Amino acid sequence: MPKQAKPATGVTRVLFVCTGNICRSPLAEAIFLRQAREAGRAGEFEVDSAGTHDYHEGERADARARRVGAARGVDVASIAREVHDSDFDRFDLILALDRGHLRDLRRRCPEPLRERIRLLGEFAAGGDVPDPYYRDQKAFEQVFDLLDGYCRRLLAQI
């Protein structure tokens, strides 16, 4: 896959999106930020996360997500919010964590901006990131590992 083009501002604005913004997308945001810092590239990115729904608006990330992050040296500190229409214009790259989110985002997004919306797994020749919400801590650990690899490959391409 070719490298993602850099915006004229020099800062790439990245939004990770899952359903309620308390499990997968906050983990992806925190993992990507850590990887960018470790690579000396933190200043190249503005990173956020959001949900396709407002189920958990204003809440901290799920305790299991925060626990797995803390155990692996990643601070999962985001507060849940829903995707806003303004996000489609504001962010250069909007990364859906699964194909359902991809469909929802593309349906909501104005046609000229839809090319900004991608499946995170595309950057790693992978697929959907499974939702660990109704599962145990082990599922969160597996999702962390998957996101760690996906984000590493994403960082190498943008």
For the stretch 129-147, pLDDT in tens is 999 999 999 999 999 999 9
The verdict on whether 109 is a catalytic residue reads no
pLDDT tens digits for range 92-133: 999 999 999 999 999 999 999 999 999 999 998 889 999 999
Count of CB atoms situated within 10 Å of the CB of 67: 15
3-state secondary structure of 12: strand
Enclosing H/E stretch for 38:
helix 24-38
Choosing from 72, 81, 131, 152, the catalytic residue is 131
Q: What's the pLDDT at 126? A: 85
The verdict on whether 24 is a catalytic residue reads yes
CATH of domain 12-157: 3.40.50.2300
3-state secondary structure of 137: helix
End-to-end CA distance of the chain: 11
Q: What's the pLDDT at 105? A: 98
Determine the Cα–Cα distance for residues 156 and 141; give it in Å rounded to an integer: 23
Backbone phi, psi, residue 79, to 5°:
-110, 130
Q: What's the pLDDT at 125? A: 86
Confidence category of residue 8, pLDDT binned at 50, 70, 90: low
The verdict on whether 18 is a catalytic residue reads yes
pTM greater than 0.85 (yes/no):
yes
Any idea where the domains of the chain sit in the sequence?
Answer: 12-157
3-state secondary structure of 49: strand
pLDDT at 3 over 60: no
Choosing from 23, 24, 66, 116, the catalytic residue is 24
pLDDT at 10 over 80: yes
Enclosing H/E stretch for 15:
strand 12-18
Q: Helix H segments across the chain? A: 24-38, 63-71, 87-90, 99-108, 137-157
Angle at 125 between CA 150 and CA 118, to 5 degrees: 70
